[in-house]
Chains A and B, each alone.
Chain A
């Protein structure tokens, strides 16, 4: 067994654009916006970056394949750039690549970049793509992301015998809370609080998910510059440092899609990635020790089951925790303090890094009082890419030195 990544890497600087329908900005504009902030925050020069990773998902309507977009846009001087594509975990994958590069000693300073320009698609929701290959595209259902995730709700309701009305009520609280948080955040895509009544009365997208159960589809970019603790201390001798405590990925084995034992009411991958991340970070009781989370609330039901998959809530108890306000900004374990995918937005390749950006800035105490998490120690980020029965999950934990 390897010894893991804990405390081997420091986040030296981060940048994140405003997410949203950035009709007037090109991917290049977004990239420069995020990179400029990041470089300034890291207090280094562009020439100090030795290697880069680029996370993007849907290259067809976005920035194309390979690492070339980043090299060309930022004029990175012939350095290695690797495109990381792993569904919605692509941003976290680029971060993982950069962290592993630094931790291995191969490079001193590396850049992790995530970007997605989705609003050139021409329609709402994610563009159709043969994401699981041509065979699945030929015989698989006429499905969209909301429809695939919606099935978590039917299976969850059936497994725990919780009436759909209560599941819907908890889902509504999930979205309500993210709207409350997003409204406070100037960089969020959706910035309007929405009453629960409106959420519950919204038109159906994919039963039982209504409009407000689905996150926004946005344009945006986010990035991080990482280095070793030694170099970081030299560059920022008098500042708090945010260290990487755990980085885990888990990918479906076919057990969920084709075998009959998976319960369909949560993700096997999240459970696995979380357990390994807690072990890597030395966390024994996540419900008590984790200070705040940014999880992959692509749909409200995803956030609901993720609370159980992350072993924060007991099986079948996430609705109770959610409805008690446990995950609200002023609750015991704030979840989505920046508004989450739901309101901050979801440019796929950027999302993992956007979550880390929120944890990083919260840990450094940079946010105003009204949206600051009190005395955070550990921040957890979680991405869930693909669909529940065939997915990629990432869990990252960061904390103060």
Chain B
């Protein structure tokens, strides 16, 4: 049986009430009041599509043997690199083997479901056994634009395979249309959209029914057979119209998370799917639609195995982890939409040295440490000479992945001198569970959240961004957990 084995989600901790944005920018576009309801999820200063995709993939892969993953697919229209395969970084952060398939999907908002389709195809063809698909987006609208209000940041992931499948893949139908409702040129940062009425009336209103009709005909099912219908469309009125047109029971249509997260681009259908799977029951049929320059429609049937899957953080767990972002200029600085002065110290050049990064990529991406075979001391980063003063064995260690180990705070500070776009820089020594100590940056917290002895978990984050060379570098940070 081919299908979904697991799912995961990631929604950044910061949420901004859309009225905060409207309060600052409503003067430019008063009609935007229509879009200024609910809140949008905002990536932290050290998050981007890649880090969010890693977080969702870790949620998804929790409890699964990472060495059995034989493909990692990353989907995003806001990848941090044009040339550098992000899937390799995701795979590295998951500490998978390196002899696997890695692919990036992009170009349009159905990239998320297209990645999923490709994974299902690869598994169906017997070319892969376990494929991690993870999608993320963090799209930007110009200040005062409708997109700025509509878009949210987030990620979702599914594990596709053949064993213990929780949702069997039953079929799909796709369309491709050069329907340019949204566009970003190769060098554009901000989304540009055509008239909303056209997007609604010709876009969603025509293509969603088209792909649903195509799938039902191809697979010999009725729309009424589905218990959960996932389709991304952020216009509330249009959703009602489509539901009515297709005679969809509103209760079966999965919430588009517009009030709590916002439109997460190519990740959005996967994020809504993750939400649907949280309470899915065996036997239920799920219809998943990806939308953007055409559509993908995928048909799944939930199996008994869903009861056996250990709980994921999922959408609900992530929504529960929440902090208010009530400062619109801070959002602009974090998303690098406006220049901010971090002082002369902040202008110091820091080179990312690729030969070094390659040598140390296992420690940096996967948080691989070493465990001494002579005295069993775990250490990070990996040491040739054992750090235990009573041991000191040379070249007698084995690699060990520490990203899931967690740890406890040994010492900490909140530093106002360090250059940062999110001062103070909070960091401190962490005792890694099972052994080893390292000084990590803390994130997703304030100084008040820290105490010696408090538990932390590790999160893959932006470590350094060099705007001049357009390079982002990543490493693990520690997040206090209560």
Contacts and interface: CB of A to CB of B under 8 A. Distances in A.
B67 interface: no
B438 interface: yes
Given A142-B420, A206-B416, A389 B439 contact: yes
Interface in A140-181: 140-144, 146-148, 150-152, 154-155, 157-158
B472 interface: no
Interface in B428-447: 428-429, 431, 435-441, 447
A259 B356 contact: no
A144 B417 contact: yes
A138 B413 contact: no
A139 B352 CA distance: 11
B473 A147 contact: no
A301 to B, nearest CB: 11
Interface stretch (A37-45, A50-58, A250-258): A250-258
A175 to B, nearest CB: 17
A253 B440 contact: no
Contacts of B357: 138
A151 B356 contact: no
A128 B439 contact: no
B242 interface: no
Contacts of B475: 138-139
A367 interface: no
B364 interface: yes
A123 B411 contact: no
Contacts of B411: 151-152, 154-155, 158, 264
A124 interface: yes
Among B415, B425, B463, the one with the most A-chain Cβ atoms within 10 Å of its Cβ is: B415
A259 B377 contact: yes
Contacts of B344: 121-123
A141 B427 contact: yes
Given A138-B473, A141-B440, A144-B417, A259 B387 contact: yes
Contacts of A254: 383, 387
Among B364, B389, B411, B414, the one with the most A-chain Cβ atoms within 10 Å of its Cβ is: B411
B170 interface: no
Contacts of B417: 124-125, 144, 146-147, 205-206
A389 to B, nearest CB: 7
Contact of A141 (B343, B388, B425, B431): B425
Interface string A275-310: 000000000000000000000000000000000000
A138 B424 contact: no
Interface residues of B, number: 51
A376 interface: no
B414 A151 contact: no
Given A128-B345, A142-B420, A154-B452, A258 B363 contact: no
Among A141, A154, A255, the one with the most B-chain Cβ atoms within 10 Å of its Cβ is: A141
Given A138-B356, A206-B413, A151 B418 contact: no
Interface string A125-143: 1011000001101111111
Interface string B349-377: 01011001100100110000000000001
Contacts of B388: 259
Among A150, A155, A205, A258, the one with the most B-chain Cβ atoms within 10 Å of its Cβ is: A258
Given A144-B418, A155-B411, A258-B437, A139 B429 contact: no
Contacts of B352: 138
B427 A258 contact: no
Nearest to A387: B439
A204 B416 CA distance: 7
Interface in A184-237: 203-209
B162 to A, nearest CB: 38
A302 to B, nearest CB: 14
Interface string B315-357: 0000000000000000000000000000111001010110011
Nearest to B356: A134
Contact of B380 (A137, A258, A264): A258
Contact of B414 (A124, A139, A206): A206
B176 interface: no
Contacts of B234: none
B353 A134 contact: yes
A375 interface: no
A102 B345 CA distance: 42
Nearest to B388: A259
A273 B464 CA distance: 37
A31 to B, nearest CB: 26
B379 interface: yes
B380 A151 contact: no
A259 B387 CA distance: 6
B410 interface: yes
Contacts of A123: 343-345
B11 to A, nearest CB: 25
A157 B411 CA distance: 10
Interface string B64-76: 0000000000000
A207 B431 contact: no
Contact of A139 (B343, B377, B410, B463): B463
Interface string A338-376: 000000000000000000000000000000000000000
A155 B412 CA distance: 8
A42 B364 CA distance: 54
A260 interface: yes
B389 A255 contact: yes
Interface string B124-152: 00000000000000000000000000000
A127 B346 CA distance: 11
B30 interface: no
B10 to A, nearest CB: 22
A150 B415 CA distance: 9
Contacts of B424: 204, 206-207
A135 B439 contact: no
B209 interface: no
Contacts of B345: 123, 125, 127-128
A148 B387 CA distance: 21
A122 to B, nearest CB: 5
Nearest to A121: B344
Contacts of A203: 416
B464 to A, nearest CB: 8
B387 A142 contact: no
A259 B389 contact: yes
B381 interface: yes
Nearest to A151: B411
Contacts of B348: 127-128
A146 B425 CA distance: 12
A181 B6 CA distance: 67
B453 interface: yes
Given A259-B377, A264-B429, A141 B439 contact: yes
Among A142, A264, A389, the one with the most B-chain Cβ atoms within 10 Å of its Cβ is: A142
Given A138-B473, A139-B381, A147-B425, A260 B436 contact: yes
Given A141-B439, A142-B418, A147-B417, A155 B452 contact: yes
A175 B2 CA distance: 69
Nearest to A264: B411
> Sorted from nearest, which 10 A-B pairs have the closest CB atoms?
A147-B415, A151-B411, A141-B427, A158-B452, A150-B413, A206-B415, A123-B344, A155-B411, A207-B414, A144-B417
7 contacts: A123-B343, A123-B345, A138-B464, A143-B439, A152-B411, A154-B428, A255-B389
Given A204-B424, A207-B413, 5 more contacts: A142-B441, A143-B439, A206-B413, A253-B389, A259-B388
